Chain A
Amino acid sequence: MRIGTLKESYVADAALFDSRTQKAWLAIGAAMLACFPFVASDYWLYLACLVAINIASSTGLNILTGYTGLVSLGQAAFMGLGAYTVAILQIRFGTPFLLNIAAGGVVAMLGGIVVGLPSLRVKGLYLAIATIAASFIAHFLFANLALTGGTTGLSLPPASLFGTALDTSFRLYWLIVPVTILMLLGAANLFRTRVGRAFIAIRDRDISAEVLGIPLLRYKLLSFGLSSFYAGVAGGLWAYFFRVVTPESFPLLMSIFFLAAIIVGGMGTILGGILGAVFMTLVPEVLKLVFELLPGGHEMTVFLSPVRTVVFGLLIVGFLVFEPHGLAEVWRRIRRFFHLWPFRN
């Protein structure tokens, strides 16, 4: 049983990490993340980078959908905006990669604000469908503008840091993971501030929030902008990771993937965005491993992709029906069990 977590000041009460145990675990986690690239194989490093990119993007969507209550099915399109910005800047101007990624975030943010403009008039599912429309229009522009290289897309050179090309998963890990952690800390802190609290008030009841003096349009657009900024940065990282950006790289299915990730992880918690992204990225890989172990070998592999689709859908439905608060709630239950042990909760 955990004792002695008495709080004596408001600062302690509002602290992001409140107990010594938690800080110790976080330090261990950080150390493990730092050691990971030296022990893991290329395949696991590849997965780690992919997971980190997905965490960044789903955290962004969590700000918009989980905390502000605005459902968006356009997250992939905003990632696309970020990725294209990075690719164009890198190819045409060769500017430093951190600047490119930041620019990708800003361009996606502007796109998000434009898409968010109807959000004051349309709500809920109408808004979700408006964002589908936006992502189709974005796809059309990516495929038909001269700037974006049409359907063949753009291939970009690797990012380089002091003359070293960041062209392997090992090297990119040191770019992608720190950026993601920085963005996670930013998101976690956001909800201790005035802006973040306003988002939560809007989610709970937007008319009440307006009555309490929160300008709805400004904060809804801000939420759209922040969420798209996250998507844009994630898209920029994505561009450096895969180094080919095509219109087909960011389909509607990818937006659904991020929405599924925050549902499975738990909407409206930072931990949920992380857990959901990790889980949803790893499930297809686990399925692949299972299929390799199955008897029948190669004949079974034709079923891999459809079975993935079914499992993807079953996860969404199953979590909504049986565990609507997602993996974060499961995690909290486990934690509570250990905190209260040997007493029953």
Chain B
Amino acid sequence: MDWAYLFEIALTGLAGGGLYALAALAFVLVYKATRVVNIAIGEMLMMGGYLFFAFAVSFSLPVWLAVPAAVLGCGLLGAIIERTMIRPLLGEPPISAFMVTVGLASILVGVVEVIWTADQRRLPEFFPNQPVMVGDAFLAPKVAYGALAAMVLIAAVLLLFRFWRGGVALRATASDQGAAYMMGIAVPKVFSLAWVVSAMIAAVAGIVVGAIGGISSSMGVFGLSVLVVVIVGGLDSVLGALVGGLFIGLVEALAGAYLGGEYKLLATFVVLVAVLLVRPYGLFGTHEIERL
């Protein structure tokens, strides 16, 4: 057993897990507020990456301008999605909203392929590229700075939810919709807000993921791992998203290093099945009690 190697792998896994946690946060946000399982989360990441690509390369904006532009563009997209696809399904069974997001994923992939073709693209370099050393372990600079960006954003979002009025309204709606209505919170607006913020977080995650591995129309596969993360952590738990993200990142890195690349996805899905059998509502999720 080579402990230094194991430490390096684990560190890379945790750093990658930071990105999963960020994307899972975007997912949990929408689920908590609107009870919609957004299976198109990977595709929204992809849209963030491509919008950044469009602003930074096609319009040749500087990076510090292209990032906010892509994030705002993605937020707008989130608002449009909520108004045209999710709002009409209010009150329908959750399966309908779930299937709508399946359709949405397909639409986004198709649109990206029409505009940018299915080829893989590289995003412009914007992270510093001297290697990062943690103790004796080497960490690829993009991964390290990506994880750092993810952590900063997660902290910012959590603080925003704690102290900002909109964030409080969002948490209130999540805990009890009827009560939130009666306290004068415009619940439909909160739904829009949740989608917009979720799309913006997804955009940042997409830009970072794209900067590490390039962008392509099959980037949505990242979303499958995110789904596993949120199921393992519990669909409606922010803490679960964070812990689950790091955990799945670790599992993937270890499986990739010790078993081989093709075992990565298999390992995460085996973890998923195991968690579902033992704790069907996830590690930190609320156990809903059904009554007639």
Which residues of A are at the interface with B, using a C-beta cutoff of 8 A?
A: 71, 118, 121-122, 124-126, 128-130, 132-134, 136-137, 140, 143-144, 205, 207-208, 211, 256, 259-260, 263, 302-303, 305-317, 320-321, 324
Contact = CB atoms under 8 A, between A and B. Distances in A.
Contact of A310 (B89, B106, B117): B106
A221 B122 CA distance: 47
Contacts of B107: 309-310, 313-314, 317
B110 A315 contact: no
27 contacts: A71-B95, A118-B273, A122-B276, A124-B94, A125-B37, A125-B94, A125-B95, A126-B281, A132-B224, A133-B269, A136-B269, A137-B270, A260-B103, A303-B114, A306-B109, A306-B112, A307-B114, A310-B110, A312-B110, A313-B104, A313-B106, A313-B107, A313-B109, A316-B99, A316-B106, A320-B92, A320-B100
Contacts, number: 128
Contacts of B99: 259-260, 263, 316, 320
B269 A315 contact: no
B277 interface: yes
A140 B276 contact: no
B110 A130 contact: no
B92 A324 contact: yes
A321 B96 CA distance: 9
Given A306-B110, A314-B103, A324-B96, 14 more contacts: A71-B98, A125-B37, A125-B235, A144-B262, A259-B102, A260-B102, A306-B112, A306-B118, A308-B110, A309-B110, A310-B110, A315-B103, A316-B102, A317-B104
Contacts of B262: 140, 143-144
Nearest to B35: A125
B277 A118 contact: yes
Contacts of A128: 98
B280 interface: yes
Contacts of B118: 306
A118 B113 contact: no
B229 to A, nearest CB: 11
Contact of B106 (A126, A132, A140, A312): A312
B37 to A, nearest CB: 5
A124 B231 contact: no
Given A126-B280, A303-B114, A137 B266 contact: yes
A148 to B, nearest CB: 15
A121 B282 CA distance: 12
Interface residues of B, number: 45
Contacts of A143: 262
Nearest to B43: A313
A283 to B, nearest CB: 13
Contacts of B156: none
A211 B290 CA distance: 13
A320 B103 contact: yes
Contact of A306 (B84, B114, B231): B114
A313 B103 contact: yes
Contacts of A129: 227-228, 231, 272
| Residue from B99, B105, B281 with most neighbouring chain A CB atoms (10 Å) | B99
Contact of A309 (B88, B106, B280): B106
Nearest to A322: B88
B85 to A, nearest CB: 6
B1 interface: no
A311 B49 CA distance: 23
A295 B290 CA distance: 58
| Residue from B106, B117, B270, B276 with most neighbouring chain A CB atoms (10 Å) | B106
A130 to B, nearest CB: 5
Interface string B73-105: 000000000001100110010111011101111
Contacts of A136: 265-266, 269
| Residue from B89, B100, B281, B290 with most neighbouring chain A CB atoms (10 Å) | B100
A207 B290 contact: yes
Contacts of B290: 207
B111 interface: yes
Contacts of A121: 276-277, 280
Contacts of B109: 306, 309, 313
Contacts of A315: 103
A313 B276 CA distance: 29
